[in-house]
Amino acid sequence: LGDMNKLAADVGGLQRVLTNVKSRGVFGEVQLAGLLEQVFTTDQYASNVATVPGSSERVEFAIRFPGSSSDAPVWLPIDSKFPREDYERLLDAQERADAEAARLAGDALERRVREEAKRIRGKYIAAPHTTEFGVLFLPTEGLYAEVLRRPGLFEAMQREHRITLAGPTTLLALLTSLQVGFRTVAIEKRSAEVWRILGAAKTEFGKFGDVLDNVKNKPEQASRQIDQTGVRTRAIERRLREVESLPDESATPLLDDGAPEA
């Protein structure tokens, strides 16, 4: 009984949190932040972003896409909404099997989603500073499923307002696919850099070959010079053979004349 009372108190606390509009917004925002942190690095997204230049409106989160320059990225705005009152009225009518009340609550929920999509489109989307579409995040799978049950609502959001609806699982799949795209772009960028490096290395190898040719030519040139000195030496020897050897008595005075006195 004590455990049940404690559980009831915890549920009541959660109820009070979700009753407050601001707290519900924080709930959706925290959940959205957790999903982004699972997939992206901190430099691939940002919070409280003014996606439209000169506007004071700031979206909860936006994913950073590479733009024409590093200082001007292209943003994908993502805003979370939790229309709890309309959703609870719908669930209550369904539990009571009240078809008319369920229809009215469903219509109210659809209107609320359309209004939020229109607001996101008007405040946060402005190509080419942003993508052509934005994402409306519904923080519970039950709410997302109820919205998807509305005939043609998902397609109308994309067609009329360029807004994609996403629940937790759907958003995680979307973010993962975007991350794969980011990795592909990074690989292509690195491949281009490697290609340039290989081109520079090829040029340097060409210069290295020229240096090796010069080194090869130097020994050959030195060898030719040595051969030429051999030829000159043999020519000198031939000339010297033509000189008659002087007798010792004639050679000694000549040598002594050039020697210093003791």
Q: How do residues 186-211 score in pLDDT, each as one tens digit? A: 566 666 666 677 666 667 666 656 66
Q: Pick from 18, 156, 25, 143: which is nearest to 81 by CA? A: 25
Distance CA 78, CA 119 (A): 12
Please tell me the predicted confidence (pLDDT) of residue 24. Answer: 47
Please tell me the predicted confidence (pLDDT) of residue 64. Answer: 86
The percentage of residues in the chain with a pLDDT greater than 90, rounded to a whole number, is 5
Indicate the SS3 state at residue 6: helix
Say yes or no to pLDDT of 164 above 60: yes
Position of tokens 């519904």?
138
Q: What is the mean pLDDT of the chain?
A: 75
What Cα–Cα distance (Å) separates residue 243 from each residue in 236, 246, 247?
Answer: 11, 9, 12
Distance CA 159, CA 70 (A): 31
> How would you class 162 by CB atoms within 10 Å of its CB: exposed for 0-12, middle for 13-18, buried for 19 or more?
middle
- Give per-residue pLDDT as tens, 119-141: 999 899 988 888 888 999 988 88
Neighbouring CB atoms inside 10 A of 247's CB total: 8
Position of tokens 């915890």?
10
Indicate the SS3 state at residue 152: coil
Please tell me the predicted confidence (pLDDT) of residue 119. Answer: 92
- Give per-residue pLDDT as tens, 12-69: 555 544 444 444 446 678 888 888 888 888 888 888 888 888 888 899 899 888 766 5
Segment 95-101 mean pLDDT: 86
Indicate the SS3 state at residue 105: helix
Gap between the terminal Cα atoms of the chain: 133
